[in-house]
Amino acid sequence: MKWHITFYNEKVEQETLNFPPEERIKFGKKTDEGDKKMTRPTLAKFKEKAFTNSEVKKEYEALSVAYNLRKKLIAMRKKAGLTQEQLAEILSTKKSNISRLENVYSSSSPKLSTIEEYAQAVGYQIKIDFVPIKPSE
């Protein structure tokens, strides 16, 4: 089962957060009228609450590898002083392919050879490291 956490810029109603009533009060504040007005929890509080569900935590951890890779690709390109257009030209591809590769919401998984070519084009080499899986708590 996959879990999706979506953040919105507009005001989010209490019911969409799926917090039990006793938890909603923690994030509310009194208004002049005396009733509770909903304020959004911080990201840290939201994640703390979401991670009480082991399936959500497991899915988050599984997605974090791809997210961190894409963040690293963007940081390396920017450190090299290249735009997506310039990098695409170096790699003889289109800017849209670079954008898709760097997009944290992309559902495609790049080939290792593609990541290696990208790294070399921005002045890096790849180092792969494997770490043991921690047993479930």
- Within-domain flag for 133: no
In a domain, 79, yes or no: yes
Residue 137's pLDDT is: 55
Enter the pTM of the model: 0.58
Q: Give pLDDT, residue 30.
A: 45
Q: Which of 80, 51, 67, 69 is nearest to 116 (CA)?
A: 69
Contact present, 59 and 51 (Cβ < 8 Å)? no
Same domain, 33 and 10: yes
| Higher-pLDDT residue of 6, 87 | 87
CA 132 to chain centre: 23
Share the mean pLDDT of the chain: 76
Answer yes or no: is 109 within a domain.
Answer: yes
Same domain, residue pair 75 and 110: yes
Q: Is the pLDDT of residue 110 over 70?
A: yes
pLDDT at 5: 40
**Domain of 17?**
1-52
Indicate whether 127 belongs to any domain.
no
Number of domains in the chain: 2
Q: 30 and 72: one domain? A: no
**In-domain check, residue 34:** yes
Between 64 and 77, the higher pLDDT residue: 77
Give residue-wise pLDDT tens across range 13-64: 433 444 455 444 444 444 445 555 556 778 888 888 888 888 888 887 777 8
Is the alpha carbon torsion for 96, 102, 104, 108 positive or negative? positive
Q: Is residue 12 part of a domain?
A: yes
The more confidently predicted of residues 49 and 80 is 80
Span 64-93, average pLDDT? 93
84, 49 contact by CB (below 8 A): no
29 and 74 fall within a common domain? no
User: Quick one: tokens of 15?
Assistant: 């019911």
Residues 75 and 41 in one domain: no
